[in-house]
Every structure is written in structure tokens, then in C-alpha cells.
Amino acid sequence: MNVVELLQQQAAGVPDRNALIDLTGRSVRTLTYAQFERAAAVAGGVFRRSGLAAGSSVMVIHPVNADLYVALAGMLRAGLIPVVCDPGAGHQQFNRACSTVSPKAVFASAAGCLFAATIPALRGVRYRFSTAGFLGSIKISRGPADPTIVARADDDPALITFTSGSTGLPKALMRTHSVLRAQLDAIRATLPLEGVEIITMPVVLLANLASGATSVIPSIDLRKPGAASADGLAQDILLTQATGIVAPPAMLDGLLRAEPSKLRSLRRIVTGGGPVMPSMVGALQAILPAAEVHSIYGSSEAEPIACLAWSSVSDVDVEAMRCGAGLLAGTATPGSTVRVHDGEIIVAGSHVVPGYLDASFDAETKLRLDEKIWHRTGDGGYVDPSGRLWLTGRIGAVIRDRHGIMESFRVECALSFNGALRRSALIGTSSRRTLLVEPRRGAVVDEMSIRRAIPWAHVDNVQRVGRLPVDRRHNSKIDYPAVRRMLKR
């Protein structure tokens, strides 16, 4: 089954419901499910008539807007394989992507066409598509609607994306039609996708389209979530009367500074892509007491893994997180089998990508146990007596010294309750435990209060920094290798 049929089913079931509300242009653009289906059918026809063979890969260089999702649906209809880099990817990542994938075509915006001309591996690509017919490219929005959906087998490639690279070089991930369908199904089974939702995470937007919900593409710049305009996002929520939002923690942390009256329509907040600290959730609940907050734990290779409805979190749980128990991640999502193997969280299931496009990376994160392929998350943790998963930090950030063993999330989660701190990072260097703290703007850092909160962490040195390095994709996870490099300078 071609995974795009999940989207087509919604056009048949709820044709007049809004599928996309695009706020990225000068005016609001709205597409119903029927209109989205027709636009995708036109694009699919253009791709098919071009002569590009099914199974060919297409490098995507396009901003996140309605045209992007129409094009992705059109490519899938034609049996093509979109290759999608992060919104903020630069020359280096695109060069690496091209060397790994060797795309047969390019789909780009006008600016993307100019950018593609600067990538040596893309200059000789024969097939070029765009939304505007720029620089001799084929315009995908012109021509008759083609009802054809090219049949694809479950094991045929559907989509190529890349890991965030927060623990090394980004790796190319090839999702087959069955894996992508399983991921969309897992998200739909985990979250109540309904109403009008501001979506800032691409895979969740695809799940929304497969569920018949209305997705709002916000006007803000998604390339740097941590620096996104809180006022702009709040205005988007007010304009569309959005009932839900899906965003990384860094973006929601910024939203706390917005005018609360603009956020009153929200009834559901979903976050993930980085540690979701209880203090931030508490701040959200304080200004939006009627909104349900859900956090998702997962990775590019396995999304989602676990989900937590914060309404189920007790005062005892919060106190445990304050006292060093780690970060509560919730229960395994439908279809996920989760274990802790040698202290590391591993996961198996039909929604788990079994390997990388470059198989040489498989040895790092793939494990065969009980005749299953398990993904090694790189995260430490444990399962409590209630069957809930707790995170204790990255395996590579564990400190082993004269005081014993200390895991980073135990400290960083405990310190998240300190309102003066935006982030913290615990690093072991030369038999010393160094705690780096990033204060909030205008806040006064009290080292004694920090030490009193975590006496069990045996911190040798507390160092204040202007900004702690975080991952490029969601700006929400501490980049520990970069922190170590910063300490050496």
C-alpha cells in the first residue's frame, strides 16, 4: 500500500474540512481536503509525465508551507522518494545528503533553485521541479489532475530524512511505506489529532493530514525554534483560534512570554524533540489551566516511543523529579516494545527504522535480540513499578568518578525548578564535576541555592555561561560534545 492513500482517504471522508491553513505568505491560504487532494493529483501527474521513474529520489529545497506538502503528496503518488533535510540545513548538510543519496531530481522554491545551483552535486541533475517554473524547472501546479497512485510495496522506500546530528554527523534514514505508515498510525493512536492545530513538526503534520484534522502552518521561522517569535506564534493562535499546538520545548518556553489572552483557545499542547521539564509544564498549566499537556519521547529512528499525559503526573512524581529521580517520559506508545538493556533504552516495533541508508552506521545503534532488530536510543533510563519510562540522560554523558556514577538528567531535571535558570548541563572533566548554567535574561544566579538543591550531585564547580549549545533541529537538547569543546577553550 502506498502510504499516500491515508491522505486520500480523508479527501473522500471529509472533503470540505480545512486540511491546511498556511500563514507563511502575505495572505492566509486555506486548502480543504478536496482541494489538497486535487493539487496533489495535479503535482503527481506532472511528476509522472516528466519521465522520472518510480523509485527515483528527489532532493527537496523548499520552505515549510502548503506547497511543500502538496509536492510531497504528489511525489508519493508518483512513486518517488522525497529527500528532506532540516529547515535550517546549510551547504554542508546538503552536500552530505547528495553524496549519500545521489538524487535524480530537485524540487525547490525560487530561492531553493538558486541555492541548488551552489551545490556541485545538484548542478548536473536533469529533472528540476518548482512551484513557479523558475529557471527552466517544471511547474508542478499546472496540468490536469491525475487520479493515479503508483502502487508501492511495503518495503519500497517512501521518504528519506536525516537524524538531527546532535550526537554526531546526521545520518540518512530511509522510511519504507510500511514504516512511515506505522509511524503515522502510532502518532494517530497516541494523540487525539483533532480540531485546529498549530504544527511545527513535519511528521506530525503528515499524521494530521492522515487523520482528517486541520493543520496550521505558522508564520514564524521554523529554522530556529528557540528564537522563534513568541508574539508571532501567539498571534497565529489568536487568528486561527487554534485548539492545539505541537511544538518543541524551546518554542513553548518562549511562548510563556506571550500575552496569555491570545492563547485561550488552546485545549491541547503536545511537545517533544527534547527534554520536557516539569517546571515548564507547570508554567504552561498555570496560564492555560484548561489545556491538556502531552509530551512525546522518541527519536528520528523511532517516533514515537513513549507518551506522557501530564494530567496523570502526581505531586509525588514531581517531587521525585525535583530530587534526582530523572525525567518521567510516560508509557510506551502502541506498537512500541521498550526495554532497558545494560542501562540503555532500546525499542523495537513496526514503526522503528531498521537501519540507515549507509549500513556502516547500523553497528552504532542497531541491536539484534530475540530475533528482533532493536534501536539503541543512546539514552539511559529505567522502568518504574507502574511500567512508566524514566530518562536519566545520555549514555555518553554519564560521569564515573570518585563519587560514583552520576547521570546528567538527574541533575538537569532537578535544576529546571530553579526559575533563574534557562538550562543547565553537567559535565565530568579531569575527575571534576562541572555544572554549567545558562541564566534567564535578567536573572541573578545564586550558586548556593543551586548547590543546596543538588547536594547529592557532588558538583565541584559551577560555571555561568551566556548560552549553552543545543541541537540544531529543535534547539531543545544539550549538545554535550559542544559543551566539552567550550570548556576546553
pLDDT in tens, 366-407: 999 988 999 999 999 999 999 999 999 999 999 999 999 999
* Average pLDDT per consecutive 10 residues, the chain (489 residues; last block may be shorter): 95 97 96 98 97 97 96 98 88 87 95 91 92 87 96 97 73 94 90 88 89 95 87 97 96 94 96 95 96 95 95 98 98 95 96 91 92 95 98 96 96 97 93 95 94 97 95 89 88
Nearest residue to 199 via CA among 164, 171, 169, 240: 240
Residues 6+ apart with CB under 8 A from 58: 52, 75, 80, 81, 82, 83, 103, 104, 105, 106, 107, 127, 129
Q: What is the pLDDT of residue 430?
A: 77
A 10 A CB-CB count for 316 gives 7
Instruction: Give the count of alpha carbons within 13 A of 438, CB side only.
Output: 13
Secondary-structure class of domain 5-162 per CATH: alpha beta
* 158 vs 78: CA distance, rounded Å: 11
Q: What is the pLDDT of residue 160?
A: 96
Scanning 288-422, the segments in alpha helix (DSSP H) are 315-322, 362-365, 408-415
Q: What is the pLDDT of residue 236?
A: 97
Task: Return the C-alpha cell found at 282.
Answer: 507547570
Give ranges for CATH 3.40.50.980 in the chain. 5-162
Q: What is the pLDDT of residue 167?
A: 56
* 79 vs 313: CA distance, rounded Å: 44
* 134 vs 414: CA distance, rounded Å: 53
Give ranges for CATH 3.30.300.30 in the chain. 396-488
Q: What is the pLDDT of residue 136?
A: 84
pTM above 0.85?
A: yes
Residues 6+ apart with CB under 8 A from 344: 376, 377, 378, 379, 380, 395
Burial class (CB in 10 A: 0-12, 13-18, 19+), 92: exposed
Q: What is the pLDDT of residue 165?
A: 64
DSSP letter for each residue of 380-401: EEEE-TTS-EEEEEEGGG-EEE
Q: What is the pLDDT of residues 13-33, one digit of tens each?
A: 999 999 999 999 999 999 999
Nearest residue to 10 via CA among 35, 45, 30, 28: 35
Instruction: Give the count of alpha carbons within 13 A of 97, CB side only.
Output: 30
Secondary-structure class of domain 396-488 per CATH: alpha beta
